[in-house]
Amino acid sequence: MRVVLCSLLFAFALLVLSHAAFSQVVVSVSFGPPALPVYEQPICPEEGYIWTPGYWAYDDDDGYYWVPGTWVEAPQPGYLWTPGYWGWGDEGAFVFHEGYWGEHVGFYGGINYGYGYGGRGYEGGRWDNGHFLYNRSVNRVNETVIHNTYNTTIIENNTTRVSYSGGNGGVEARPTAQEQTYSREQHVPRVAAQEQHIQQARSNPELRASTNQGKPPIAATAKPADFKSGVPARQAGGAYKAPPPNTARNGNARPATEARPENRPPANSEARPENRPATPEPKSNNHASEVQPHTYTTPNTANAATEKKYQQQQEQLAAKQNQDHQKLQQQQEKEHEQATKKNANDAQKQQMEQRHTQQTQQLEQKHAVQQQKVEPHQPAPKGSKPEDKRPEKPN
């Protein structure tokens, strides 16, 4: 009777968890994550452990940070891991979709995480009568410790190291009908060991992209949170310049200028010029990488509906403008690399720099005009008369 009761309780727990939207968006960011770094997979520690690839997570205060790939014990026999992934959303921002455990591997954005996760499904192993069989061609397994292995060659073409799906430069992928079916199956979220692993990664300053520039010193671990014996990345997946903290978040996050309640104007304050959102003026930036990401402060108009509408317009505009910056930055960095490879002379480099300065300033001027067009008009005080707009007579 006790065994039956335990089984029923476990089944009920899984049923409840299956209704949780593990693929729902948990965070949206205006700037895409860095490319996936190149690293070596640690040896599988024990039988029954499944490889979970590393990925870039996001924190409001510190920006993107690397969550090392690691071996995790499956929550129950027969379950596989579907990695989370960043994708370009309809709201004009990069959104993160959580990973989950289930009987099948579902859609993960077409991202080639490597080690069996080539963009579709999982080729790193399979379950057989309650035992996990490891594919030695994509996994590092000590066969003197783990005997359940096989060898099927898998060709992984991961040349771009792109870490997000859709948008400018992202992987073009859509879920298949079968993957959509898998997404509706019974799922289990991250286990406690994975949560601890993420918390430790978040608290490690060396794993922030702003510090390691896309090359984390701990790229993978043999077990969750075992950072002392972590494997460093061999190289970054591509060039990356981190945006300032508190500026890349989109959606419900507060703008950088309103990061804390003490920085907000009083609720009953008038819409004075000092409390109004500042229109970004064109600055003397020479490159797109030097431009601060656009964030705007919601004005105090004493009209909740107006403020909400304006905030939505500003968020959409900021996301679009930040995307323009990123696109121009990638173009300029590519031209820099080409100039270096071709050993461009000083005159050619000077022409390139002048062109970059002109491109950057023109883009900022365009953005300033866009911002002015969406600024709300303050209502005239009650009882005030319209200004006389008749032309003055010449003296």
Q: What angle do CA 178, 184, 185 make, to 5 degrees?
A: 90
* Residues 112, 195 share a domain: yes
Q: What is the pLDDT of residue 179?
A: 94
Q: Work out whether strand 149-150 and strand 131-135 pair parallel, antiparallel, or are unpaired.
A: parallel
Residue 373 CB contacts under 8 Å (≥ 6 apart), including other chains: none
Q: What is the pLDDT of residues 73-130, one digit of tens each?
A: 999 999 999 999 999 887 778 899 999 999 999 999 999 999 999 999 999 999 999 9
Q: What is the pLDDT of residues 139-190, one digit of tens each?
A: 999 999 999 999 998 876 656 789 999 988 899 999 999 999 998 999 999 9
Q: Does the residue 234 lie in any domain? A: no
Q: Does the residue 285 lie in any domain? A: yes
Mean pLDDT of 329-339: 76
Alpha-carbon span 228 to 202, nearest angstrom:
15
Q: Does the residue 344 lie in any domain? A: yes
Q: Work out whether strand 85-88 and strand 94-97 pair parallel, antiparallel, or are unpaired.
A: antiparallel
Burial of residue 95 (number of CB atoms within 10 Å: 0-12, 13-18, 19+): buried
Q: What is the pLDDT of residues 50-81, one digit of tens each?
A: 999 999 999 888 899 999 999 999 999 999 99
- Biggest distance spanned by C-alpha atoms of the chain: 104
Q: Does the residue 152 lie in any domain? A: yes
* Residues 334, 196 share a domain: no
Report helix, strand or coil for 263: helix
Higher pLDDT pick, 295 / 218: 218
Mean pLDDT of 304-328: 74
Q: What is the pLDDT of residues 357-373, one digit of tens each?
A: 777 767 777 776 677 66
H-state helical runs in 222-303: none
Domain that holds residue 341: 256-374
* Residues 146, 91 share a domain: yes
Domain end call among 229, 245, 271: 229
Higher pLDDT pick, 314 / 181: 181
What are 277's two structure tokens? 């959102």
Position 287 confidence tier, pLDDT thresholds 50, 70, 90: low
Domain end call among 229, 248, 264: 229
Higher pLDDT pick, 203 / 159: 203
